[in-house]
Chain A
């Protein structure tokens, strides 16, 4: 039996990953934020599944989860830690408060990092069991920063960057660190956008934000299936020689190869035109 911890298991990629790994015969610990979600998941997956209840900003709860996992592991070690949980804080950079931006990083960057520290002793090799692996679910936004997605893109880029540092520092312990960068995935993450974006309606970025929300709405039912990412996570955990980075774009050329290889200034103009960010879209030309 192999044991895996997956964060953010209540829905989306996390939920599908739990299902996929259970099918493949793993024992899975899935983290959720509320006790209600924990009961729901425990009912859905009666066998080989233990829910963990913690928020990535709540360190005592994270430490408690380590103890809970240790108790069940017995003389096994942990075969994998999948850092999947994440949120999106949208908005124009000029008008986002420091608290909101910090919260984005607390959940998407600092939280996963702390889990990599806390679960390190469990991931180390034990008797016959080889060391476990860390799989971070980052995003293609780490490579291509889109307007009004500033904090999200930066938090994911920081996470992808930390994967390099972790890989090099955990190298002597044999713990592999693997980064996954999915493009657009069909999950409920867009449903929270509109309510978060409301406060920016009287800024110079109003037209742009409207455009942004429209495109998010358009993409609501488009994108990769969460199962596809679950399968990639499985490969990252299982391949004898895993890649250090798995990129899974929604559209190989139009949403990855082309934007990633265009000259930056040209991509700037295309995005600015689309997101109503060219100077001619500025309504109030007077400086405040």
Chain B
């Protein structure tokens, strides 16, 4: 029996992973923040799912969860995989965001993720029967394509890009591999959840640009985005294939959401963005 641990399974990619991995015959430990989510998921998935109740910013709760997983695995069993998925996004123009918000973005997406890795690496290590497990980080194409108003999220994801490189090299000593998947736009409710944020910037120069960017996302990128199931399948492949790629981009609209923005020279992309979202100097002078 393969045991896989996933963080942030109440919805989105995490939820799809639980569903997919159980269908492949695995046993899944999945972390959620609310007790009602734990019962809801247990009711849906039954014995093959073990809920873990922790917030990735809560060191003590992670420690307790690690002890619980260790006890449940028993002697000689290890984790087949650790999927670092839980994350948040704090959108907005840099000028009007605070240091506390930046800190919170990093506490969840970076330091929380690292603390989960630190606590579960002992359970991923090789045992008498099993090979060492693998870590998959659910990254984002935002780490390579930095757009206005999602800067903190991009910065956190590129910090994790670097941490994945370091971890991959340092954990070679235990034979634990680390895969970083750059996930492109996903067709789920995440953007809908954060959409009301724009009202906070009503009185700033950036308001029209933010509105345009959100409308574009809701009308175009999201409906054309990846399905969570497809991401789950790619994560499972990275966990099971003998020689996984250490990093790859996963996109549905490959041309528009990956190839063009990463291939254009930066200055040209600056200009395209400014023109598209009316952020040229002459647009701002009018306001």
Contact = CB atoms under 8 A, between A and B. Distances in A.
A205 B170 contact: yes
Interface residues of B, number: 62
B198 to A, nearest CB: 15
Contacts of B59: 98
Interface stretch (B82-90, B93-101, B186-194, B230-238): B93-101
Contacts of B171: 94
A120 interface: yes
B160 interface: yes
Interface string B156-194: 101111110111111111110000000000000000000
Nearest to A287: B125
Interface in B254-270: 266-267, 270
Q: Is the interface of B mostly helix, strand, loop or mixed?
A: helix
B162 A164 contact: no
Interface string A84-123: 0000000011110010011001000110011011001000
Nearest to B111: A98
Interface stretch (B23-31, B46-54, B141-149, B221-229): B141-149
Contact of B170 (A109, A147, A265): A147
A247 interface: no
Contact of B166 (A59, A146, A287): A146
Nearest to B123: A287
A126 B245 CA distance: 51
B155 A109 contact: yes
A212 to B, nearest CB: 11
Interface string A246-288: 0000000000000000001100110110011111011000011
A269 B168 CA distance: 10
A146 B273 CA distance: 33
A44 B121 CA distance: 51
A4 to B, nearest CB: 21
Interface stretch (A5-13, A151-159, A229-237): A151-159
A281 to B, nearest CB: 6
Contact of B173 (A155, A165, A168, A281): A281
The residue among A149, A160, A208, A287 with the most chain B CB atoms within 10 A of its own CB is A287
A279 B172 contact: yes
Contacts of A272: 169, 172-173
B172 A278 contact: yes
B93 A153 contact: no
B205 A172 contact: yes
Contacts of B206: 169
A171 B276 CA distance: 13
Nearest to A150: B166
B166 A94 contact: no
The residue among B114, B149, B172, B266 with the most chain A CB atoms within 10 A of its own CB is B172
A154 B107 CA distance: 14
B280 interface: yes
A162 B155 contact: yes
A148 B281 contact: no
The residue among B160, B166, B267 with the most chain A CB atoms within 10 A of its own CB is B166
A244 interface: yes
B274 interface: yes
Contacts of A148: 170
Given A172-B205, A268-B172, A277-B170, A167 B270 contact: yes
Contacts of A265: 246
A147 B169 contact: yes
A162 B158 CA distance: 10
Contacts of B280: 171-172
Contact of B148 (A158, A165, A174): A165
A174 B168 CA distance: 40
A153 B99 contact: no
B154 to A, nearest CB: 6
The residue among B122, B143, B266 with the most chain A CB atoms within 10 A of its own CB is B266
B155 A277 contact: no
A150 B205 CA distance: 38
A169 B93 contact: yes
Given A93-B167, A168-B274, 17 more contacts: A102-B111, A157-B158, A158-B155, A158-B158, A158-B159, A158-B162, A161-B158, A162-B94, A165-B154, A166-B94, A168-B279, A169-B93, A169-B148, A169-B149, A171-B281, A278-B172, A287-B126
Closest 10 pairs (CB-CB, A-B) = A165-B151, A150-B166, A164-B146, A145-B165, A154-B162, A172-B284, A161-B158, A157-B162, A158-B159, A154-B159
